[in-house]
Structure 1
Amino acid sequence: MLEQKFDIVCIQETKVSPDKLPREAKNIPGYYNYFVSAEKNGYSGVGLFSRKKPLKLENGMGIEKFDREGRFLRADFEDFILMNIYFPNGKASLERLEYKMNFYEAFFRLCELSQSRRQKACYLRGRKYSPQRDRPCPSQTKRKDIRFSS
């Protein structure tokens, strides 16, 4: 990160509360850092490293059932809004699929609100990759799983 001199770095699926992060992960020279963790230890979580201090931070979407999973961090900068999101998957249950779809709906409402206020917004989300460079993981469509039903 230091070699590349990124202005902003977002991470998802941190799976650790900020107080349990190693000091060297939190104290990176030249970067402010912010983390949101889940109530459940070792579950989800997002982090943000930024060279500029955000004008405003929001930990969560303002919806308790989503915020307790530590999946959303909003940072308002002078020229844009950044949303760092770790989207839930549907797992193998209809209940979890419904949770996922409700999360997406809430996120889209936030996007529409930003758009109606003429705010420039960008969102960053996690993506899993295979060990081969720049190749997404192969599809798992052969699994008997609710996430992949048509």
Structure 2
Amino acid sequence: MKFISWNVNGLRAVLKKDFMTTFNQLDADFFCLQETKMQAGQVELDLPGYHQYFNYAEKKGYSGTAILTKHKPLTATYGIGQPEHDQEGRVITLEYPTFYLITCYTPNSQDKLKRLDYRMRWENAFQTYIADLSTQKPVIFCGDLNVAHEPIDLKNDKTNHHNAGFSDEERGQMTTLLNRGFTDTFRYFYPDQPDIYSWWSYRFHARDNNAGWRIDYFITSNDLQPKLVDAKIHTEIFGSDHCPVELDTQDLFA
């Protein structure tokens, strides 16, 4: 089974940049999107064979998530059940017989970490949410988690040490999450692979110079490790300041 996650930095924008060609070529069972930046009715996707689920931010042109899937879920829920965190369209959860699939667009701590306090409240709430789900069945969650966990996960770790996405607080939250029984699937397969990133600033020719960050993830409950086949980062795919990331598994419905 193939899972894809991509922060598209505006679904309407990426639809003008061969999104459908990429979508059809990847041919995923589950295609998760973040930062769709749209409201209901602004885009109609003609995707035969796919069920479509969208969560919109109350603020127009901001945040937002989607899941496009060949497999109809048992249930679809939006947000994490806490009003403080459910105004920005950041989470969709699909329930299947043998697992939960979650797409997540984690809040950015912003310049000078001015939103770090909120980010920490979000982290605590989201981790509680997925930990509770994982007591029922395994969890697969993906998305732009807005953190490079270790120095290997970004080009310039020393100069970015206290910047958003590489602060000690954000990295510590990722460590805490993984220690609660979850697997960073790319590092599971490629623990020592450097220079593979999923996001590049639009400034300073960052993508040309591969001065990037790995901030897009597939994370799974440890119980799913025997079912994992591979993880990929599609650095060859353009259209956004992020590239798609992939998780391949055995048939989880079998």
Q: Which bracket does the TM-score occupy, shorter chain normalised?
A: 0.7 to 0.9
CA contact (8 A) 1:60 1:67 kept: yes
CA shift in 2, pair 1:139/1:58, >3 Å: farther
Partners of 2:32 and 2:99 in 1: CA distance: 15
CA contact (8 A) 1:97 1:146 kept: no
The one-letter amino acid of 1:123's match is F
Identity %, equivalent residues = 29
CA contact (8 A) 1:56 1:76 kept: yes
CA contact (8 A) 1:12 1:47 kept: yes
Partners of 1:109 and 1:149 in 2: CA distance: 21
CA contact (8 A) 1:11 1:126 kept: no
Coordinate RMSD, CA, aligned: 2.3
Task: Establish whether residue 13 from structure 1 lines up as the match of residue 23 from structure 2.
Answer: no
Report the Cα offset of residue 112 of structure 1: 1.6
Partners of 1:37 and 1:137 in 2: CA distance: 30
1:68 is paired with a residue of what secondary structure? Answer: coil
CA shift in 2, pair 1:94/1:2, >3 Å: closer
Task: Establish whether residue 109 from structure 1 lines up as the match of residue 128 from structure 2.
Answer: yes
The TM-score with structure 1 as length reference comes to: 0.81
CA contact (8 A) 2:104 2:145 kept: no
Report the number of matched residues: 139
The gaps in structure 1 that reach 5 residues or longer are 129-135
Partners of 1:108 and 1:30 in 2: CA distance: 32
Kindly provide the CA deviation profile for residues 20-62 of structure 1, in whole angstroms up to 9, marking residues without a partner as x: 11x2xx2211100011010000100000000011110111111
2:142 is paired with a residue of what secondary structure? Answer: strand
Aligned twin of 2:56: 37
The gaps in structure 2 that reach 5 residues or longer are 1-22, 147-152, 169-254
Match of 2:143 among 100, 120, 125: 125
Partners of 2:75 and 2:167 in 1: CA distance: 40
Partners of 1:108 and 1:31 in 2: CA distance: 29
CA shift in 2, pair 1:30/1:101, >3 Å: same
Partners of 1:77 and 1:99 in 2: CA distance: 31
The one-letter amino acid of 2:96's match is F
Partners of 1:37 and 1:60 in 2: CA distance: 10
Aligned twin of 2:245: none
The TM-score with structure 2 as length reference comes to: 0.49
Aligned twin of 1:142: 159
1:3 is paired with a residue of what secondary structure? Answer: helix
